[in-house]
Homo-oligomer: A and B are copies of this chain.
């Protein structure tokens, strides 16, 4: 009762004092680098690509060659789960991302993204399945969206991240498949797009191109190259995306419905032979990235940090970088990037970063003898 009351002067001042205290704490947190250490968590994974924590704290992890495993809280790696769909494991393709449905605890539904072979070539495919009660198998496995058209040659640029928005919409990123950059600009083509879908793979109601002749109703945004990072900003609800540029020009984009993110018309990068691409770096009718890397970091998975283990990192966006390898921390304010820090620059290529239930960061290494590393506070 005393704590809830107090002397009148403090009672009246308390909101102001608390706000002031918050500011001081926040400023301190920003100024002071977090002390962390990296510890091995799991090993024996071949090119792990995507990961999702179950409510019980175990981690589902995909291996690009086409396996799905469960990693216990002690880091022990299970045998491959049964029922995993066949994948086109070649080039950059294979079994790629995994995400739990928002109502997983009730439905046990999971979503997988993969490279699939169909007549005409390979494409990015979204699959829905249920995790069996004993978590040893996928059941009722159903492909629910093929990012057509397939491409006959080349096995690159599948994109393939899955996230759910606050309203339950499923976002899927799809690469432009590398061989024909212009696919990213074609609205009748699902390559080089971020899609917004219902849980059954059909277009989300209210999508920007629904009803437009010659345009696919699944499209949320277009003009993407190879988007392998997707995350919903937990403070603003906005969808953030990371994509690989060519030689330089890796981007973080803030995705808004119907917008054109420019590839290959505008880019800050150059082609791999050093020549220019498109018309330059920007155009009024196309969206500017909110962050660009020149030279590249090759950003794959991204995750906003909301945990308590590293108070100084709350609000940061972490980026798993392949080349040069490392973990990039972007400090953010609202939907802006305000700073950048490079961590683990002497480490392995990183494919994905996910926050664990205890606030540690789990990093998937892109290696044939792949591992999961864990960032925990230094003691």
Contacts and interface: CB of A to CB of B under 8 A. Distances in A.
Interface stretch (A140-148, A251-259, A273-281, A313-321): A140-148
A201 B125 CA distance: 21
Which of A86, A119, A145, A146 has the most C-beta atoms of chain B within 10 angstroms of its own C-beta? A119
A117 interface: yes
Nearest to A87: B86
A193 to B, nearest CB: 16
In the assembly, how many copies of this chain are there?
2
A85 interface: yes
A25 B236 CA distance: 91
Contact of A119 (B117, B119, B141, B143): B143
A118 interface: yes
Nearest to A128: B119
Interface in A87-136: 117-119, 125-126
A85 to B, nearest CB: 7
Contacts of A118: 118, 143, 146
11 contacts: A85-B86, A86-B86, A117-B141, A117-B142, A117-B143, A118-B118, A118-B143, A118-B146, A119-B144, A119-B145, A119-B201
Given A119-B126, A119-B144, A119-B201, 12 more contacts: A85-B86, A86-B86, A117-B141, A117-B142, A117-B143, A118-B118, A118-B143, A118-B146, A119-B125, A119-B143, A119-B145, A119-B146
